[in-house]
Chain A
Amino acid sequence: MKRFFILAAILILFMLIVPTYLEACPGCKNLDDPINKGFNWSILFMMAMPFTVFGLVGGTVYLHYRRANRKPTDQETM
């Protein structure tokens, strides 16, 4: 375990020292170029979609359960 942490620390140190700078997105270097701009919009759009989908499905399930909990059961009303 100790050896693993030492190796991980050396690796992180190596990664921090060696490159002058890092860019996560290969298509976003120059946004004046239309194709890079296209990739950029596409990435932003697709990045937003999982949150939208989970938000909508989760929101629908949550609303159904909340509505069901609000409604008094037949036995309570009797």
Chain B
Amino acid sequence: MAQNNTGVHERPPLSNARLAVLVLLGAETMLFSGLIGAFLVFRVGNVTWPPPSHIGIELPRLVTGINTALLLLSGYTMFQAHRAIQGDRAKQLRRWLLITGVLGLLFLGIQGSEWVQLIGKGLTLQSGVYGGIFYVLIGCHALHVLTAVIWLLVVYGLAVAGRFSAEHYVGVDTCTIYWVFVVALWPILYVLVYLL
């Protein structure tokens, strides 16, 4: 906290924790840019996609589309959790956080079952460029969702312990920023990998 000329302590307009999360997300964006860049080289570079060696392996577009809707819904519920703590409604905060966590876990569960089916059809990390870029790109995002869910569970635990109020909610704030990033990134990956 900075001290002004009247001797009163002032909060910085942007908290250090928020700034740290923004810098982290900047680095994460660059990581995903590199992966998307690699995907673009393979996707645009191949006239037939999936490559001839993988013809017959269809990505589950519909189920993933529904899964996308679930993740987008979790973005809305996280936003509601953030609004709840801004209004000092601790009970609603806990409820919205719980719903968000369940939606995140559901997303991961559906994603995992899809992967099991695709591996059964022969699409593996070693099966070629198609499988490699698919699992690295989608897997990297899934890992981020898992991190976000763990973070959310920690925040939920703190909310149950009554550690947040309308004045102090930086934990909810930073978790919301990270969650929104993970949610906003997914439709881009879905369109690129599943629909193009």
Contact = CB atoms under 8 A, between A and B. Distances in A.
Interface of A: 34-35, 37-39, 41-43, 45-46, 49-50, 52-54, 56-57, 60-61, 64-65, 67-69, 73, 75
B44 interface: yes
Chain B: interface secondary structure?
helix
13 contacts: A35-B41, A37-B44, A37-B45, A39-B45, A41-B40, A43-B37, A45-B36, A45-B40, A49-B29, A57-B22, A57-B23, A61-B22, A65-B13
A52 B42 CA distance: 24
A18 to B, nearest CB: 31
Given A46-B34, A57-B26, A75-B6, A38 B14 contact: no
A36 B14 CA distance: 44
A39 B42 CA distance: 9
B8 interface: yes
Given A53-B30, A57-B26, A42 B40 contact: yes
Contacts, number: 62
B33 interface: yes
Given A46-B34, A53-B29, A65-B13, A60 B22 contact: yes
B43 interface: yes
A34 B19 CA distance: 41
Nearest to A39: B41
B14 A64 contact: yes
B66 interface: no
A4 B19 CA distance: 44
B196 to A, nearest CB: 12
A61 B19 contact: yes
A7 B38 CA distance: 40
Contacts of B1: none
Contacts of B6: 75
Contacts of A37: 44-45
Contacts of A57: 22-23, 25-26
Nearest to B33: A49
Contacts of B14: 60-61, 64-65
Interface in B24-75: 25-26, 29-30, 33-34, 36-38, 40-47
Contacts of A43: 37
Contacts of B37: 42-43, 45-46
A43 B46 CA distance: 17
Contact of A34 (B22, B36, B45): B45
Contacts of B23: 57
Contacts of B43: 38
